[in-house]
Amino acid sequence: MVYSQPHVYATIFALSVLKACALDSYIAAVYEHSVILSEDTKIPVSPEDALMLMNKNMDVLKGAIKAAALQGARIIVTPEDGIYGWVFTRETIYPYLEDIPDPQVNWIPCTDPDRFAPAPVQERLSCMARSNAIYVVANIGDKKPCNSSDPKCPSDGHYQYNTDVVFDSEGKLVARYHKYNLFVTETQFDYPKEPEFVTFNTSFGKFGIFTCADILFHDPAVVLVSKLQVDTVLFPTAWVNTLPLLSASQFHSAWAMGMGINFLSANTRNSSLDMTGSGIYAPNGPRAFHYNTETENGHLLVVELSSHPRLSPTYPIAVNWSSYATSIKRFSPDDRNFSGVIYFDKFTFTELTKPEGNRTVCQKDLCCHLSYRMVEKQEDEVYVLGAFDGLHVVEGEYYLQICTLLKCKSTNLKTCGQPVATAHTSFDTFSLSGTFGTSYIFPEVLLTGVQLAPGEFQVLSDGRLINQNGTSKAVLSVTLFGRWYEKDPPHPQQVFALDSYIAAVYEHAVILPEVTGSPVSSEDALTLMNKNLDVLEGAIKAAAQQGAHIIVTPEDGIYGWVFKRDTIFPYLEDIPDPQVNWIPCTDPERFAPAAVQERLSCMARNNSIYVVANIGDKKPCNCSDPKCPSNGHYQYNTNVVFDSEGKLVARYHKYNLFMSETQFDSPKEPEIVTFNTSFGKFGIFTCFDILFHDPAVTLVSKLHVDTVLFPTAWMNVLPHLTAIEFHSAWAMGMGVNFLAADTHNTSLAMTGSGIYAPEGPRAYHYNMETENGHLLVAELRSQPRLSPTYPSTVNWSAYATSVKRFSPDDRNFSGVIFFDNFTFTELTKPEGNHTVCQKDLCCHLSYRMVEKQEDEVYVLGAFDGLHVVEGEYYLQICTLLKCKSTDLKTCGEPVATAHTRFEAFSLSGTFGTSYVFPEVLLSEVQLAPGEFQVLSDGRLISQNGTSKPILTVTLFGRWYEKDPP
């Protein structure tokens, strides 16, 4: 890429005059640097010697930075380890480290070098950025002193981090990122406690940053792109090329394409370690790349990129990666498969014996289909189609699903999968697809000489990677490289975290405002909120004294309910994005007025406990936004979380508002909010959200949170939707810890809070007798999925679809439960086997009562349909329940007491959905922990009866795909 300098300058100048605040495109640079290495990294050197070596490397980088700036580059990325090299011990890296402050301090080392001295490396990098008016991205080492009060403090008294820094064009430190996924050999560095999601905004887009092996894992890489929506990723790396699937340019360009992102990758150059391969990659293909095994020189790449690639008309369409592959039958039988190894993974291969053909090869759940036509079949070259579906376990553990067409090293099939860098076979066409279980697929096409193929292939929306017109060079490999993050084992840092923690929820009897029909003053609003906060403060203190790590308080718990848009307004605060790193307790003025946030933050900080609360957020908008409400504000029902130092770590705007919540707006899209702690990964949503797919199900099944935080103001609805009943069933059905804090108000039937584990409730509270609040405290596993008692996966319809009807349908009748028209059949005998069906759902029940009571009637019921009152959602429900009276017309009406005991029951249904929540509710609205179980074939059974008479036994199924949009 050669740019004529005056032209570039003119372009940039004109752009900056016309659009001072936002550029549509910018010029990016990456520098592949041949690092000058220390002579011996086994013995410690003096800080002076360390600095001398680093200065030699920075002399080279300075030249590259200047050259990039002269070509108009706005930002330049330099490689990982680019300033001091590699293979250190903890002790020998130490003289190279500097204490790098949090960028929040607003520091320009170039103009204020003594503020955090000694920091000569930061000073020099800052000056290079400033004097060339260019953002500089570099990788250096950070040291942070710690002491014995921190049980994890390393014995040498320092944390040492592999660190990326970014200085803006004035030389200010604007980003600092500590590498989270250290490579196995990086024993000189520590893991940060949690993954850091580091972003910064510029006039040419939003940037995120991570380092080298991070690219293989979910956190922080995927989160930066899919959740934080950065435009460009900055990627310093020291990447050792591994053919056939993991050479630098090949994998990095594929990641950019698969994730739909700009990607600036700067590799080190070192021939003995086979390090080369840097590039500037856009979502629709490489813009510039460099792969050089001939010389030992560094190399600068400079090219233009779109600032906001998602807004570009050429932005690739969304891909359903398995759509084509699952829609067709196998192309070929598996009678000639053989196995072979690629980078320690055992693939299943099949040889492409003909010049053209259609082949399928499968491994576990992954089938790979290939259609191809070679220009000519070369006798001395062998190609295979391969599939791998499994956990990679060498040099890092990560789950892969890979479909690949590749050239074998020789004509001996035993060499298939071994590295080979040249080929002579050209293809006229190919089409590769796979039945992937993940949506994270990175499409690779690598040509002879380890070259990329920009513009020579495409990915169709049905998941086929195709080429219709040949490639410019012979083919080494064509690959769909899939990463299935949910199947990864936990990060090494998280394994050492707490195995269990103490959770608290507080059911709060909210002190309600006297007036909600007309606006009050901000002072009156705050007075009322402070009254509630006084009560919550007592609960938070009590929880902390019992050792709780986190406490959840209810929805509407600080100001109550039944507001209008204008009457809630004085209660709202502007709640910033947690990315700003704010501790309201120590810095209350920064986003003032924020009295409520300040108090909550101080309660968390003073008691060293995470505090979860529900308050109202206001966000000003104006007429340039056509959706801006007429009062000039969006108003959100909002959960906030403050960590044990009082920092705001999560903010969630409720997505599924209840009908009556007209005082609030829904956010434009569901927000998927998670945060990590030393006691597991947390997700959060609110009340009515629990009935819908987004964000609730996504948090658990896609982001794999360990615990859900759930502030709610839940009105109990018997027989299926009382708070404790439904929330404990959701925790069990989803296999997640669930902390539910309800408001307490008996006149609105609000009561029912709990601490629920996947195996069953650990503590719960239901009380219609008093008007008092109530604190629950119980221990939970930090990562319930790792526990030996974690429930096995359930196929909810396996048993029910394998049996015939137990009974005819000649005595069915219909009845209504919470506006839904069920089909019922009466249990007339003390024991029996019954089946009742509605539409596609058949429910089977086997039961034996201790004694049939003459004055109590039980029915088996089925419902398969769209619920349409107070929200629309599709249900499939099988239920055994007690009717309100002996009149069958009352079956389905709320009833809270019973006298009939069951010795045994077994309930199952032919569900079309895999989201089924198992409920058992006993007389007086009590749960039955440990008194029933769910078998892997989908039967909800009790073999020894329950401790109290039964109100209902229910399989509550939600079929999200059938919900209206």
Ligand X SMILES: *[C@@H]1O[C@H](CO)[C@@H](O)[C@H](O)[C@H]1NC(C)=O
Torsion angle, alpha carbons of 126, 127, 131, 132, to 10: -50
Question: Residue 226 or residue 835: which is nearer to ligand X going by CB?
Answer: 835
Q: For residue 6, what is the enclosing H or E element?
A: helix 5-18
**What is the binding site for ligand X (CB under 6 A)?**
356-358, 371, 469, 814, 821, 831-833, 846
Active site residue 829: no
Q: What are the percentages of helix, strand and coil residues in the chain, rounded to 5?
A: 20, 35, 45
- Beta strands 356-363 and 458-459 are unpaired
Pair 782, 510: CB distance under 8 Å: no
Q: Among the options 687, 878, 883, 891, which is catalytic? A: 687
CA distance 207 to 194: 20
Question: Residue 353 or residue 422: which is nearer to ligand X going by CB?
Answer: 353
Quote the tokens at residue 886: 């002996």
Pair 637, 689: CB distance under 8 Å: no
Question: Residue 644 or residue 846: which is nearer to ligand X going by CB?
Answer: 846
Tokens 């490689």 locate to: 79
Phi-psi region of 85 (alpha: psi -120 to 50; beta: other; left: phi over 0): left
Question: Residue 644 or residue 833: which is nearer to ligand X going by CB?
Answer: 833
Phi-psi region of 913 (alpha: psi -120 to 50; beta: other; left: phi over 0): beta
Q: Among the options 172, 407, 654, 681, which is catalytic? A: 654
CA distance 327 to 539: 56
Phi-psi region of 343 (alpha: psi -120 to 50; beta: other; left: phi over 0): left
Q: Which residues contact 319 (CB under 8 A, 6 or more apart)?
A: 441, 459, 460, 461, 462, 463
Angle between helices 595-607 and 522-545 (to 10 degrees): 10
Neighbouring CB atoms inside 10 A of 933's CB total 15
Q: Among the options 194, 196, 555, 671, which is catalytic? A: 555
How open is the CA angle 942-945-948, to the nearest 5 degrees?
A: 125
Considering the complex, what minimum distance in angstroms separates the CB of residue 802 from ligand X? 12
Residue 370 Cα distances to 197, 330, 483, 636, angstroms:
38, 10, 20, 50
Considering the complex, what minimum distance in angstroms separates the CB of residue 218 from ligand X? 36
Question: Residue 152 or residue 805: which is nearer to ligand X going by CB?
Answer: 805
Considering the complex, what minimum distance in angstroms separates the CB of residue 867 from ligand X? 12
Tokens 């004509």 locate to: 411
CA distance 920 to 719: 10
Question: Residue 356 or residue 376: which is nearer to ligand X going by CB?
Answer: 356
CA distance 258 to 206: 19
Max Cα-Cα span within the chain: 97
Question: Residue 426 or residue 606: which is nearer to ligand X going by CB?
Answer: 426
Considering the complex, what minimum distance in angstroms separates the CB of residue 943 from ligand X? 14
Question: Residue 745 or residue 823: which is nearer to ligand X going by CB?
Answer: 823
- Give the residue among 63, 243, 93, 246 at the shortest CA–CA distance from 156: 93
CA distance 417 to 178: 34
Question: Residue 613 or residue 953: which is nearer to ligand X going by CB?
Answer: 953
Question: Residue 373 or residue 414: which is nearer to ligand X going by CB?
Answer: 373
Question: Residue 295 or residue 468: which is nearer to ligand X going by CB?
Answer: 468
DSSP structure string for 483-522:
E-GGGSPPPHHHHTS-SEEEEEEEEB-----S--SS---H
Considering the complex, what minimum distance in angstroms separates the CB of residue 821 from ligand X? 4
CA distance 687 to 683: 14
How open is the CA angle 466-287-5, to the nearest 5 degrees?
A: 160
Read off the amino acid at residue 197.
F
Quote the tokens at residue 780: 């939970």
Considering the complex, what minimum distance in angstroms separates the CB of residue 674 from ligand X? 41
Considering the complex, what minimum distance in angstroms separates the CB of residue 814 from ligand X? 4
Considering the complex, what minimum distance in angstroms separates the CB of residue 482 from ligand X? 24
Q: For residue 168, what is the enclosing H or E element?
A: none
Considering the complex, what minimum distance in angstroms separates the CB of residue 872 from ligand X? 15
Active site residue 62: no
Pair 179, 210: CB distance under 8 Å: yes
**In b/e form, how buried is each residue of 10-42, taking b as 16+ CB within 10 angstroms?**
eebeebeeeeeeebebbbbbbbbbbbbbbeebe
Read off the amino acid at residue 703.
L
Q: DSSP class of residue 494?
A: H
CA distance 48 to 393: 41
Considering the complex, what minimum distance in angstroms separates the CB of residue 437 from ligand X? 25
Active site residue 407: no
Q: Within a 13 Å sphere around the CA of 41, how many CA atoms are in the beta-carbon half?
A: 16
Question: Residue 396 or residue 470: which is nearer to ligand X going by CB?
Answer: 470
Considering the complex, what minimum distance in angstroms separates the CB of residue 688 from ligand X? 24
- Beta strands 858-867 and 873-882 are antiparallel
CA distance 11 to 72: 9
Question: Residue 305 or residue 459: which is nearer to ligand X going by CB?
Answer: 459
Quote the tokens at residue 792: 């096995």
Considering the complex, what minimum distance in angstroms separates the CB of residue 474 from ligand X? 15
Considering the complex, what minimum distance in angstroms separates the CB of residue 862 from ligand X? 12
DSSP structure string for 308-341:
SGGGSTTPPPP--TTHHHHHS--SS-STT-EEEE
Residue 726 Cα distances to 450, 654, 927, angstroms:
56, 19, 10
Give the residue numbers marked as catalytic. 555, 654, 687
